[in-house]
Amino acid sequence: MPELPEVQNVVDGLKILQDRYVEDVKVYNVNTVKNPNTSDDFEDILEGKKVLDVFRRGKYIVFQLDADYKLITHLRMTGALVVGEKEVTKYTRVGFLFSKNLAVNFNDIRRFGTMSLLHQEELYKEKGYFNLGVEPLSKEFNHRYMLGKLSSNRAIKTVILDQTIIAGLGNIYADECLFLAGIHPNRKGRELTKQEACILVDKIKLVLEKAINCGGTTFRDYKNSKGESGNFQQHLHVYGRKGQKCLLCNKGLKNSKISGRTTVFCPNCQR
């Protein structure tokens, strides 16, 4: 599933849509549209709307439209917003035509991706979006905030994957951040010291910024809005490397399941 760096790269490519009008919309898969109730309403409300801004919130792509509407998209596992693609394929779930003849297709192989068109007063209907926590690259995400979220007995990896605490952090980058911070992913959150919380915050910011600059991580399906793959996979220390040698201490990496997520770590470097 695309995480914060991948979504940010998609958003960067969609900035070209700012100040353009939606001239035509066609829903090819009604299950992709969560809100409003019908795909006909989705098409009717969208047509003629102006895109004021495109931004990321957590793992969501948000089109800020005029008349206080937001088009909120979640790519899930295989979703992709492709700019300039007019040809409809068997994977095209929603097709858009913007002013100046610019086409954008929402393609999704596994059909888990979603779109919701909501007025500002209706955002509560998109619960995952409405309840998002702090953005990890913001000033609000600091050691004081982190310490305030570490009072539970939950594993620290579970804590930082909680989207109501940190918006956008996913399995790939959680493993990488904990490794660089030297923190075992199964440590209870309340056991972390102030110093460890500071280090973890710093590493989260560092890893996410580097991953954004590298275009995100591509293993199979992820591509940005221009159809380009990321290359952060070349910089991974632990994720996807179970059974291999640690790049720091040369001892074997271990893996386990934490909250149902495959987790790779170094038992020697992470305490």
- Percent of the chain, pLDDT > 90? 93
Q: Are residues 38 and 123 in the same domain?
A: yes
Residues designated catalytic: 2-3, 59, 261
Residue 41 binned pLDDT confidence (cut-offs 50, 70, 90): very high
Q: What is the pLDDT of residue 142?
A: 97
The count of domains in the chain is 2
CATH of the domain at 37: 3.20.190.10
Q: Are residues 164 and 123 in the same domain?
A: no
Q: Are residues 186 and 103 in the same domain?
A: no
CATH of the domain at 241: 1.10.8.50
pLDDT higher than threshold 80 for residue 117 = yes
Residue 268 tokens read as: 């020697």
Q: What is the pLDDT of residue 157?
A: 98
Q: Are residues 52 and 105 in the same domain?
A: yes
Q: What is the pLDDT of residue 219?
A: 80
Asked whether residue 92 is domain-assigned, the answer is yes
Mean pLDDT within 62-88: 96
- Percent of the chain, pLDDT > 70? 100
Give the residue numbers spanning the domain of 225: 143-265
Last residue of a domain, one of 74, 98, 130: 130
Asked whether residue 246 is domain-assigned, the answer is yes
Asked whether residue 74 is domain-assigned, the answer is yes
Asked whether residue 210 is domain-assigned, the answer is yes
Mean pLDDT within 104-115: 96
Range from 18-27, 84-93, 224-233 that averages highest in pLDDT = 18-27
Q: What is the pLDDT of residue 115?
A: 98
Last residue of a domain, one of 99, 130, 161: 130
Asked whether residue 114 is domain-assigned, the answer is yes
Residue 94 binned pLDDT confidence (cut-offs 50, 70, 90): very high
Q: What is the pLDDT of residue 152?
A: 87
Mean pLDDT within 160-166: 98
Q: Are 45 and 69 in contact (CB under 8 A)?
A: yes
- What's the CA gap between 133 and 95, in Å, rounded? 31
Closest CA to 115 of 167, 12, 39: 39
pLDDT tens-digit profile of 126-154? 999 999 999 999 999 999 999 999 998 99
Across all residues in the chain, what is the average pLDDT? 96
pLDDT tens-digit profile of 179-231? 999 999 999 999 999 999 999 999 999 999 999 999 999 887 788 888 888 89
Asked whether residue 270 is domain-assigned, the answer is no
Q: pTM of the prediction?
A: 0.96
Q: What is the pLDDT of residue 229?
A: 84
Q: Are residues 90 and 147 in the same domain?
A: no
Q: What is the pLDDT of residue 1?
A: 77
Q: What is the pLDDT of residue 128?
A: 97
Ramachandran area for residue 19 (φ above 0: left; ψ -120 to 50: alpha; else beta):
left
Amino acid identity at 95: G
Asked whether residue 52 is domain-assigned, the answer is yes
Last residue of a domain, one of 130, 162, 195: 130
Q: Are residues 235 and 195 in the same domain?
A: yes
The residue with tokens 């004021």 is 52
Q: Are 35 and 122 in contact (CB under 8 A)?
A: yes
Asked whether residue 137 is domain-assigned, the answer is no
